[in-house]
Amino acid sequence: YGETKHVIEKILEAEAVARPEMSVVILRYFNPVGAHESGLLGEDPNGIPNNLMPIVMKVRSGEIKELAIYGNDYDTRDGTCIRDYIHVVDLALGHLKSMQAFEKTGTSVYNLGSGRGTSVLEIMHAFEEANHAALPHRFADRRPGDLAEIFADPSKAKRELNWETTHTIEDAMRDTINFLDSAK
């Protein structure tokens, strides 16, 4: 998956070099979470999800029995993987701000993330807090290839686009719960 994204970036960059009048803007997303605060727009995945938040949502609904947390022995503050999560509204605003990068030719690449890491357990606890209920979970073996932590460096987006995240993980969990309750 990551290699495919890298290859696509290289193709776009080569095209921008071949066509000097062309503008290419590449947005590297980190882990989108949350929903619109109105509760009207959010993620409702079909099938068996493989990302943390859709799984958490399906555990809450009872479609999945429990949250499997892959690894609790990483060299992180609580032993679980740390990732950069970005509220979907911040991500949407990043898209809007990135439109100004089309004013120049060539390739511009921006990381859209918070620049902060949140562990799997921290996500789970924030969801439990917003949901006012415990989330059934169990620890499982690490998945091959999972890194202990990955987070964005969004400084270029802040510097060139005047963009940065404003929503917290707690906002994302509250908005997710609001969406789930509104969708009933």
pTM of the model: 0.91
pLDDT at 183: 77
Distance between CA atoms of 101 and 30, rounded to whole angstroms? Answer: 20
Q: Which amino acid is at 109?
A: V
Q: Are 182 and 40 in contact (CB under 8 A)?
A: yes
DSSP states of 76-129: SSSSS-EE-EEEHHHHHHHHHHHGGGGGSSEEEEEEES-S--EEHHHHHHHHHH
Q: Catalytic residue at 110?
A: no
pLDDT band at residue 2 under the 50/70/90 scheme: confident
pLDDT band at residue 180 under the 50/70/90 scheme: very high
Q: Which of 1, 29, 70, 110 is catalytic?
A: 1
pLDDT tens for 130-139 read 999 999 999 9
pLDDT tens for 69-110 read 999 999 999 999 999 999 999 999 999 999 988 888 888 999
**Is 2-182 in CATH node 1.25.60.10?**
no
| Percentage with pLDDT > 90 across the chain | 83
Q: Are 163 and 111 in contact (CB under 8 A)?
A: no
What is residue 74's DSSP assignment? S
Q: Are 71 and 143 in contact (CB under 8 A)?
A: yes
